[in-house]
Amino acid sequence: MTIFKSTFPPLPTPDRPFSYALLDALWMHRERTAVIDAETKRSATFQDLFLQSFSVATYLEKQHFHHGDVVCTVMHNSLENFPIFLGTALQGGALSGASFAFTEYELQYQFKDCKAKIVFCNELYLFKVLKAAQQCPSVQLIIVIPEDPENPKTYQFGVTSMTDVLNCQPNFYSRKVDVDIHRDIVTMPYSSGTTGAPKGVMLSHTNLAAEVNLLAYHLEQLIMQQIDSSYKAKEDTDVIYLPIYHMYGFCLFMRNMLCGVTTVLMAKFDIELMCKIVQEHKVRCLKVVPPVLVLLSKHPIVKKVDLSSIQAMLSAAAPAGKELCDAVMKRIPSVKLIGQGYGLTETTAATHLCHYEKTPKIGSAGKLCSGLEMKILDLQTRKPLGYNETGEVCVKGNVVMIGYLNRPQATAETIDDDGWLRTGDVGYVDKNENLFIVDRLKELIKVKGLQVAPAEIEDLLHTHPGVQDVAVIGVADEACGEIPMAFVVKRKANLKEQDVINFVKDRLSHYKQLKGGVQFIKEVPRSMSGKILRRFLRDEAELLKMAKNQAKI
């Protein structure tokens, strides 16, 4: 049996709660600035975060928030993200981040599914959070991060201000919560997995600590110090615009906190603001997704500011092509590497990362990270394959999730009895241990790196009285990578494309909208078992695209 093992040195195995490692790091770097709000310029030192985290933990304890309880956040990137997470972890709880772009309908689903006890949200999202929480008996308290922390408002019963939480006298001597680092959940992001509605991904202290440690090791020793041997993470500044509720942004942020890196947080992405931050703070390693690379290859701001501090870029969440990377490196000549990574929410984040080499392997998703194992299984026989043979990528190691919340069947379908996780991605490994992803078995649509499950949109459209049947696929889009497109069988003859689009628009987040359009068909192609044959619909979408292009000529 061919099992691929990481060629990088093993890292120390986590042996204590991740929250304790963070506390030590905060105190070690206590005099440094930890976070800066990109828009308001508010900031906090590592010592501030240390004290605030204990204030949050003490407040939660007073609210009878116990070991195993869940906090849900509906927040854009804010200074308060970190103390909320660490305060929750110190109480033995789990944090489940929901997208601030979610509708009331989507928030209600997550609150109910994870049985959130306390919800933190920015004031901007309070109205929809209140409406969602009305139908969720588990939610006992909503805590609001005010737009103006200096002048917080008075809220209705059941809602309090984050100002009150941070003013809570921290109790450093409270009894430590007994945490099982391998089984207790510290964070629970939601993922669609390979199919179906979003599911809570249970990640332990060990999972998160292992992931953050390997990110720290790879970024510092295998990328930045290979480019500049004098590089020290604790002297660096980073910019994070990736949403912290997404595991890519979350783990990068945790790595910065662990390593003493100053982080400039952007509440929402803006290419001009990001470039100005890079110039002002001399950012050296920029973390990106392919749509940001597209902007860097074309946007005029790149020529108006000094981006020469950037030595490397790490791209993830979706593939980035050679032509795109070349175009960016041509516009920003200081960049020595645009490396790619690969991973899943179910593997905490990255399982593969690039490292600096003078002749990088173009198109590679990186090499297997420290301490992890991988095998490639034949799609038909499920037998392990060797080098340069294509099959499903499976991974094993201490970053693999505990499982899906309350979904034993979905967990069993994803992780086998020996701990191997099926990624649903098809790829191969070359003789130099580089992984190449060539296809996806799973049906997820990746819109700017965000997951969209066709089944979620299909389930919603099945409730439309004018829809008989429906299938959703992803179609290529230069700006977004992919966008959803629906093939609909009419129940009512007068159903129009805009009717379908508006039905989704009112109920789902912006990135789940049917920007690929709606095509009416007589019948949805299905297998004998009833499974939608999406490959036929993808072929149909390609023919429609060719016909439109031909009509323009």
Looking at residue 376, its pLDDT comes to 97
Is 90 contained in some domain? yes
Q: Is 452 found in the same domain as 436?
A: no
Q: Is 451 found in the same domain as 415?
A: no
Residue 377: other Cβ atoms inside 10 A: 17
Is 227 contained in some domain? no
Q: Which of 239-253, 312-326, 367-381, 387-401 has the least mean pLDDT? A: 312-326
Residue 484 has pLDDT above 70, yes or no: yes
Average pLDDT over residues 150-158: 79
Q: Is 427 found in the same domain as 332?
A: yes
pLDDT digits (tens, 9 = 90+) for 369-397: 999 999 999 988 899 999 999 999 999 99
Q: Which of 165-169, 290-294, 314-318, 547-551 has the least mean pLDDT? A: 547-551
Average pLDDT over residues 473-487: 92
For the record, the structure tokens of 487 come out as 């093939």
Looking at residue 416, its pLDDT comes to 96
Domain that holds residue 103: 49-203
62 phi and psi angles, rounded to 5 deg: -65, -25
Q: Is 360 found in the same domain as 475?
A: no
What is the count of structural domains for the chain? Answer: 3
Is 249 contained in some domain? no
Of 155, 187, 203, which residue constitutes the final position of a domain? 203
pLDDT over 90, % of the chain? 75
Of 394, 424, 440, which residue constitutes the final position of a domain? 440
Is 85 contained in some domain? yes
Question: Would the CA dihedral through 280, 283, 289, 294 be positive or negative?
Answer: positive
Residues 6+ apart with CB under 8 A from 139: 111, 116, 117, 118, 119, 133
Query: Which has more confidence, 200 or 468?
Result: 200
How many CA within 13 A on the CB side of residue 476?
9
Query: Which has more confidence, 440 or 41?
Result: 41
Q: Is 130 found in the same domain as 185?
A: yes
The CATH number that applies at residue 298 is 3.40.50.12780
Average pLDDT over residues 234-254: 96
Q: Is 501 found in the same domain as 414?
A: no
Residue 161: its H or E element: strand 159-161
pLDDT digits (tens, 9 = 90+) for 62-115: 999 999 999 999 999 999 999 999 999 999 999 999 999 999 999 999 999 999
Residue 416: other Cβ atoms inside 10 A: 12
Residues 6+ apart with CB under 8 A from 490: 466, 467, 468, 520
Q: Is 436 found in the same domain as 337?
A: yes
Looking at residue 530, its pLDDT comes to 58
Assess contact for 442 and 424: CB atoms under 8 A. yes
Is 294 contained in some domain? yes
Q: Which of 299-313, 442-456, 459-473, 493-507 has the least mean pLDDT? A: 442-456
Q: Is 486 found in the same domain as 359?
A: no
Is 429 contained in some domain? yes
Secondary structure percentages of the chain, helix, strand, coil, to 5: 35, 25, 40
**C-alpha to C-alpha distances, 408 to 23, 127, 206, 334, nearest whole angstrom:** 34, 34, 21, 49
Residue 256 has pLDDT above 70, yes or no: yes
Q: Is 272 found in the same domain as 405?
A: yes
Of 182, 203, 224, which residue constitutes the final position of a domain? 203
Residue 529 has pLDDT above 50, yes or no: no
Q: Is 452 found in the same domain as 434?
A: no
**C-alpha to C-alpha distances, 508 to 102, 268, 283, 497, nearest whole angstrom:** 7, 19, 35, 17
**C-alpha to C-alpha distances, 277 to 101, 262, 302, 308, nearest whole angstrom:** 24, 12, 12, 12
Rounded Cα gap, residues 131 and 481, in angstroms: 33
Q: Is 454 found in the same domain as 396?
A: no
> Average pLDDT over the chain, rounded to whole?
92
Is 34 contained in some domain? no
The CATH number that applies at residue 144 is 3.40.50.980
Looking at residue 358, its pLDDT comes to 72
Query: Which has more confidence, 452 or 209?
Result: 209
The CATH number that applies at residue 473 is 3.30.300.30
Q: Is 495 found in the same domain as 523?
A: yes
In Å, how far from its chain's centre is CA 104?
Answer: 21
Is 31 contained in some domain? no
